[in-house]
Amino acid sequence: MGKLAHLVSRYREMGIPVTSEVADTEFARTHLPEPLLVLWSTMDVRDRRHAVTVTRRFVTLVPDARPAEMAAALLHDVGKAQCSLGRGGRVLATLFGGLTREMRVYRRHEEIGAQAIARAGGDQRTVDMVAGRSNDAAARALREADDTY
């Protein structure tokens, strides 16, 4: 899916009220060790819902995914927790780059998230997948699961 289509889909998704917060947290709890669950919990409720949706898609593409790969799916956007951009700000950051500090943080969310995962004791496989440093079948499946709407 193209970048614009992904952006439009995420914008629409962020506007839908979250009614699955308890179920999403339980899902994450089954796949993340406590330090990574704490990190996941720092994400905006809409980003957590998105992470669970992506992880469910990912596991259909990679049914034998390793725990570190499941963690990467659940935490692929955790770096976004470090900025306070709303829907509109995220669109502007994606389209126009780092005009502000918040936009620069948003644009670096993969790197920032990977660093946070490493500090929390996450597996190197999780760190590499979140940082975008992997291009094997599981990493490509994660990108596909994130881009599917």
The model's pTM is: 0.82
pLDDT in the model for residue 61: 98
In contact, 149 and 1? CB cutoff 8 Å: yes
Question: Residues for the chain: how many in total?
Answer: 149
pLDDT in the model for residue 1: 44
pLDDT in the model for residue 15: 53
7 Cβ partners below 8 Å, 6+ apart?
91, 94, 95
Three-state secondary structure call for residue 65? coil
pLDDT in the model for residue 7: 54
Segments in the chain below pLDDT 50: 1
